[in-house]
């Protein structure tokens, strides 16, 4: 029984370490993608838009997209930001209405 409990403890320890590292990597990726939204490179901006579009709708994301849409000069990227923004605003309205 003692050896079995030790193995379970090692497994739980390993799982918690993996979850902790995964959370740190995810947080780093999110902050990097938010920085890349205002990158001088249009492809990075497009990739950051795609990432932001896949993330959930939050008030912070909507505010960020509004700022980006107003800042962006390229019509393609501005239009993509507008489409993502509209979808996120609708999603937030639906959530608010569900309360």
Domain at 93, CATH number? 1.20.930
Q: State how far the Cα of 36 lies from the Cα of 21, in Å rounded to an integer.
A: 22
* Half-sphere exposure (Cβ direction) of 97: Cα atoms closer than 13 Å: 6
Q: Count up the domains in the chain and report the number.
A: 1
Count CA within 13 A, CB hemisphere, residue 66: 9
| pLDDT value, residue 8 | 87
Question: Cα 48 to chain center, whole Å?
Answer: 9
pTM over 0.75: no
pLDDT in tens, 48-94: 898 888 888 889 889 999 999 999 999 999 999 999 999 999 999 99
Q: Residue 9: which pLDDT band, with cuts at 50, 70 and 90? A: confident
Domain that holds residue 63: 2-97
For 44, the token pair is 């990075």
Q: Which two tokens stand for residue 14?
A: 């390993």
- Band of the pLDDT at 1, cuts 50, 70, 90? low
Provide the token pair at 26. Answer: 């995810």
């Amino acid at each position: 029984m003692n050896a079995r409990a030790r193995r379970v403890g090692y497994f739980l320890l390993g799982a918690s370490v993996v979850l902790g590292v995964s959370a740190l990597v995810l947080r780093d990726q999110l902050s990097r993608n938010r920085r890349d939204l205002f990158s001088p490179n249009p492809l990075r901006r497009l990739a950051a838009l795609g990432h932001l579009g896949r993330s959930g709708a939050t008030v912070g994301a909507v505010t960020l997209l509004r700022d980006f849409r107003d800042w962006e000069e390229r019509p393609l990227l501005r239009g993509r930001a507008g489409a993502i923004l509209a979808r996120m605003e609708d999603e937030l309205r639906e959530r608010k209405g569900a309360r």
